[in-house]
């Protein structure tokens, strides 16, 4: 029986499966029920993923605004993220801010333009762990940090996913972004091509949520 159900499930297009969640779990789950925009990231094979964006209309129906291929961490998606594992954390998250080396492309989200002094601290022993800092304005207590200015392609445009950004747990992972693709796996972020990233920034709503799942079968686990 289970094998039969599994085969039937595989025959259902992923977009159809997601629509079911939008019309049931999404509107009842505490983390998503007030959201008017949902981005699904579902791993399909290793570090490859399908990414969908849906808008909730005034009549409470959902409209698919985009469907694209993208990338996640080199070592896939995990529900037990650790610093340096090159895995993308599964779960339901919001976005903190938009950012980029380029000027604001027209997003309504708070946008921060990167300069040469900007770093993201990934040293778990630092009081600035998993925070954006201006190197000229802090007492440097960290041995490791990502120089945001160095990532000319990836960080041309991006969004900070609010994974481990509040009540920060040391060593649970840092610098989890949604950014421009370099045509390959990430170190734990989610990425799409530049044109899609710009489109997302332009249409992103303040209460948008991103749902990251290891595969199509694990989506339901995120709502338990």
The CATH number of residue 188's host domain is 2.40.440.10
Joined together, the tokens standing for residue 50 give: 């399908």
Q: What is the mean pLDDT of residues 49-66?
A: 96
Full-model pTM: 0.94
Rounded-to-integer distance, Cα 192 and Cα 199, Å: 11
Cross-strand pairs, 51: 41, 68
Q: Which two tokens stand for residue 39?
A: 């981005």
Residue 12 has pLDDT above 90, yes or no: no
**Which of 20-24, 75-79, 154-158 comes out lowest in average pLDDT?**
20-24
What is the percentage of the chain residues whose pLDDT exceeds 70?
96
Q: Is the pLDDT of residue 5 over 90?
A: no
Domain count, the chain: 1
Own/partner contacts of 58-63, CB < 8 Å, gap of 24 or more, are 60/27, 62/19, 62/22, 62/23, 62/38
Q: Which domain holds residue 141?
A: 2-223
With a cut of 90, say whether residue 200 has pLDDT above it: yes
Degrees to nearest 5, angle at CA 75 with 74 and 78: 125
Q: What is the DSSP letter of 220?
A: G
Tell me the two tokens of residue 71: 């990338």
The whole-number average pLDDT for the span 169-182 is: 99
User: Residue 6: what pLDDT?
Assistant: 47
């Amino acid at each position: 029986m289970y094998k039969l159900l599994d085969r039937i499930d595989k025959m259902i297009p992923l977009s159809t499966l997601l629509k079911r969640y939008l019309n049931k779990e999404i509107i009842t789950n505490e983390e998503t029920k007030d959201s008017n925009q949902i981005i699904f990231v579902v791993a399909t094979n290793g570090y490859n993923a399908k990414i969908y964006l849906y808008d909730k209309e005034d009549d409470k129906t959902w409209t698919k605004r985009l469907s694209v291929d993208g990338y996640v961490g080199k070592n896939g998606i995990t529900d037990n993220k650790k610093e340096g594992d090159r895995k993308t954390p599964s779960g339901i998250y919001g976005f903190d801010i938009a950012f980029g080396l380029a000027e604001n492309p027209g997003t309504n989200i708070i946008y921060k333009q990167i300069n040469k002094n900007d770093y993201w601290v990934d040293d778990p022993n630092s009081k600035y762990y998993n925070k954006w800092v201006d190197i000229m304005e802090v007492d440097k207590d960290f041995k490791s940090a990502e120089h945001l200015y160095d990532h000319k392609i990836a960080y041309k445009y991006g969004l900070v996913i609010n994974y481990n950004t509040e009540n920060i747990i040391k060593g649970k992972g840092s610098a989890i972004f949604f950014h421009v693709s370099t045509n390959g796996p990430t170190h734990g972020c989610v990425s799409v091509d530049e044109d899609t990233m710009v489109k997302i920034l332009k249409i992103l709503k303040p209460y948008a949520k991103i749902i990251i799942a290891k595969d199509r079968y694990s989506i339901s686990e995120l709502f338990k």
